[in-house]
Structure 1
Amino acid sequence: MERGVELTDEDKAVLKSEAKLRPTLGDFNSIVCFKSAVIGIEKTLGEKAAAIALTTAGRHRGKDLAQELCFSGSSCSFDDIGYKLETALGKDGTCLCIINNIIREDDVIHVYTSETFCSAGEPQGSERQCTYTLGVVWGFIEQVLGKRLQGKHTESVLRGGDYDVFKFTFL
């Protein structure tokens, strides 16, 4: 992915949360704890309702993140969007996932991800979908483009794919 847009120091401060929510432990917790919450939500609400709730929560987070980075409604290339998203969600950000590539073909956007939170610790063949991670990417891209999208998890590393692929179409 081309590195056309660099994050400013202000962007980096937002990602590292200069106003720490917890002064000693910081802003991050483990995948083990978050996945336990996801499984509890699924058991309480059922898989379909939990998927809707988690995707919606992710979309909200993605939109907020784009706004925090002053990156909404801008006209950037998909390489630039991918770079900012990778920096925000990858190893230098919240460690939610790695954004490997974003490709737009006509009215379809494909986002190739790896090491997603949702796939972590899952056995091969698992039917788990990337609900929260899909939602974060979805919300971010919608906020940046200023357009509504329909999103779907189309390929999974758990089911033989090289990436977890999210497909977005314009509504």
Structure 2
Amino acid sequence: MSERLREQLGDFSSIVCLKAIITGMEDALGEKATAISLIAAGRTRGKKLAESLGLVGVTDFETVTQALSQALGPEGTRLLIIEKIVQDGTCIKVYVKETICSAGEPQGSTRQCTFTLGAVWGALEKILNKRLQGKHTESVLRGSAYDVFEFTELG
């Protein structure tokens, strides 16, 4: 991000405002329609990000992790922290923390990551040039050390 999007306020806004957008959408559209929309928006963001970072075709997950972490983590947009991406058989597992989706949620919350899942999903699809199915399988809100996103290739 070389050019600032707003002259005085800069490129970032509050998690409180984003969470209000999400809960407002859930009130208006329902949880399922909101989740579908936010995942789709995230996937679009992830695909564009992977392309802009020159990651298309990169197969080394350490390189991918570093590039995505820099763009989405503390030095980037602060969407989440990607700890690691690992291949586990036919499944790709992405271990993340401090997601925007989990921020401020109480322990035991059933909140799932939507936009953040979608952003990682879209990036991996673009990088690998494959259609993937993604799921949020473990949550920091329900006792896991990480939010874990799992991706498998669609036939």
Q: Following the alignment from structure 1 to structure 2, what is the Cα–Cα distance between the partners of residues 161 and 48? A: 24
Q: Which residue of 1 aligns with 2:53?
A: 69
1:81 counterpart = 2:64? yes
User: How big is each residue's C-alpha offset from its partner over 1:12-70, in whole Å with a ceiling of 9 and x where there is no partner?
Assistant: xxxxx212211111111111111110111111100000000000000001011111112
Distance 1:75 1:97 in 2: 21
> Over aligned residue pairs, what C-alpha RMSD do you find?
0.8
* Equivalent in the alignment of 1:5: none
Q: TM-score, normalised by structure 2?
A: 0.96
Counting only pairs closer than 5 Å after superposition, residues 24-63 of structure 1 correspond to structure 2 as: 24-63=8-47
The amino acid that maps onto 1:63 is: K
Structure 2 Cα separation of the partners of residues 26 and 159 of structure 1: 34
Tell me which residue corresponds to 2:115.
Answer: 132
- 1:105 matched residue in structure 2: 88
Distance in 1, matches of 2:121 and 2:4, equals 26
CA distance in 1, matches of 2:100, 2:88: 27
Structure 2: how far apart are the matches of 1:100 and 1:123? 22
Output the amino acid matched with 2:77. T
Deviation at 1:106, TM superposition (A): 2.2
Moved over 6 A (4+): none
Q: Which residue of 1 aligns with 2:130?
A: 147
In 1, are the aligned partners of 2:138 and 2:149 still within 8 Å (CA)? yes
For the residue of structure 1 that corresponds to 2:130, the secondary structure is: coil
2:131 counterpart of 1:123: no
Matched, 1:169 2:138: no
* Other structure's SS at 2:151 match: strand
Question: Whole-Å Cα distance in 1 between the matches of residues 124 and 14 of structure 2?
Answer: 26
Secondary structure, counterpart of 1:111 in structure 2: strand
The AA in structure 2 aligned to 1:156 is: S
Structure 2, unaligned stretches of length 5 or more?
Answer: none
Query: Counterparts of 1:40 and 1:119 in 2: how far apart (Å)?
Result: 16
Aligned residues: 154
How many angstroms apart in 2 are the aligned matches of 1:76 and 1:84? 13
- Cα deviations by residue, 1:143-170 (Å, 9 ceiling, x for unpaired): 1111110000000000111100000001
Q: Does 1:95 align with 2:86?
A: no
Alpha-carbon contact 2:58-2:64 (below 8 Å) kept: no
Identity among equivalent positions (%) equals: 57
